[in-house]
Amino acid sequence: MKKLLVTGSSGLIGSEVCVHFGGQEWEVHGIDNNQRAVFFGDKGDTRWNQQRLEKTLANFKHHEVDIRDRENIIKKIKEIAPDAIVHTAAQPSHDRAADIPFEDFDTNAVGTFNLLEATRRYSTAIPFVHLSTNKVYGDAPNEIELVELEKRYDYADPTYSEGIPETFRIDRTKHSLFGSSKVAADISVQEYGRYFNMPTACLRGGCLTGPNHSGVELHGFLSYLILCNLIERPYTIFGYKGKQVRDNIHSYDVARFIEEFINAPRVAEVYNLGGGKNNTCSILESFDKIQEISGIKMQYSYDEKNRIGDHICYYSDLRKMKSHFPNWDITKSLDDIFNEIYLSWKDRTA
C-alpha cells in the first residue's frame, strides 16, 4: 500500500486530500497540531475535522507534530517513509500575519524549508506538492486596467481575458507579510526542485473553498460570508465597493489535480490553481447568490479602507494546468460550491 504524508491534514485542503487518497487505498498520514485555533481562536479550531478523518478513514493516522519542529519533522518523514508529500499547513491569513509576524514566517517559510530538507534527506524521487497562494503576486494584479460593471470589476486588458498566468511577476509589489512568507516558501520549493532535480509543484491557489472549511473573518472569504448569512451576522465589506472579484475552486477539484501531479510528476513546476473565469464572483454577487439559496437577507456594513495588498480582481488562467494534465478540469460549479457550503454550515450550526 502506498503511503501519503499530508501536512495541515485537519484543514480544508489537507482533509480533502486525505479523504481523496484514502478512498483510493493509500495509507494516509496526517500532520497537524491545530495551530489554526492559536491563530484564530476557537472559531478556527479544526479538531472536529481531525476527528472526522479518524472516524471515517480506516487507513488514516494522525500525527501531532508542529512543522516548525525541525528535528521532529526530519525524524517523522524518515519514520513514515511516504511515497508522496502534500504540504498544506500554513498560517493562512494576510491580515493576521501583521499581528504575528514571527509565527507567520516561521510557519510558512521556515516550516516549508524544514519539510523540503527533510524530504531531500529521505528521498529526492518522491513528489512534493506545496499549496502556495496567489498572494505571491502581491498587489501587482491591481495594476491591470479594469472595467467597472454594476456589481463587479473585470479585466479590460485582453491579455488577461483568461485570467492571471504563471508568468506574472512576483516582485516590485506589496505582498503583506503573509504574502512575503509564502513567496519565500514558494521559491524554496521551486529551488529544491531545480537544484536537486526533485519533483516539486507550487500550487498558487485562488479562493480554495468547500464544505469542510472553518471560515473566519480573516481567512476563508466564501465560507465565512455564507456563515454570516445563515446566522444573520453582519458581514463587513472592506473597500472596492464590494465589487472585488475572486475565482473559487472546490477542495475536491484541488485534490483531483494533486492526484494528477503525483501520478505524472514534473520538476519545479508552478500552477495557478483557482476556479478560473467561470467560477468568479464578487462580494455583491455572492450576497445575491446566498440570499437566493437561504432565503435570508444579507446583513452587512461597508468600510472604505481596503485590506492591505488585497486584489481588486483576480482569477486564475487555467490553460497551463489543462495543457500539462488534460484529464483534469473543474467539476464543481459556483452553484455547487455555494450549495455545499451552505448545507455544511446549516448542519454544523444546527
**Residues 132-167: pLDDT tens digits?**
999 999 999 999 999 999 999 999 999 999 999 999
pTM for this prediction = 0.95
Predicted local confidence at residue 36, as pLDDT: 79
CA-based radius of gyration for the chain: 19
- Say whether pLDDT at 40 is over 90: no
- CA–CA distance, 284 with 224 (Å, rounded to integer): 14
Q: What percent of the chain has pLDDT over 70?
A: 99
Predicted local confidence at residue 95, as pLDDT: 81
Do residues 235 and 277 touch, judged by C-beta distance below 8 A?
no
- Say whether pLDDT at 218 is over 70: no
- CA–CA distance, 326 with 338 (Å, rounded to integer): 26
pLDDT digits (tens, 9 = 90+) for 243-269: 999 999 999 999 999 999 999 999 999
Measured in degrees and rounded to the nearest 5, phi and psi for residue 6 equal -125, 120
Domains in the chain (CATH in brackets) are 3-348 (3.40.50.720)
Q: What is the mean predicted confidence (pLDDT) over 326-340?
A: 98
On average, the pLDDT of the chain sits at 95
| CA 341 to each of CA 182, 289, 337: distance values in angstroms, whole numbers, following the listed order | 27, 12, 6
**For the stretch 127-142, what's the b/e string if a residue is b when 16 or more beta carbons lie within 10 angstroms of its beta carbon?**
bbbbbbbbbbbbbbbb
- CA–CA distance, 72 with 32 (Å, rounded to integer): 13
pLDDT digits (tens, 9 = 90+) for 18-29: 999 999 999 999
- CA–CA distance, 76 with 9 (Å, rounded to integer): 15
Do residues 261 and 194 touch, judged by C-beta distance below 8 A?
no
pLDDT digits (tens, 9 = 90+) for 284-300: 999 999 999 999 999 99
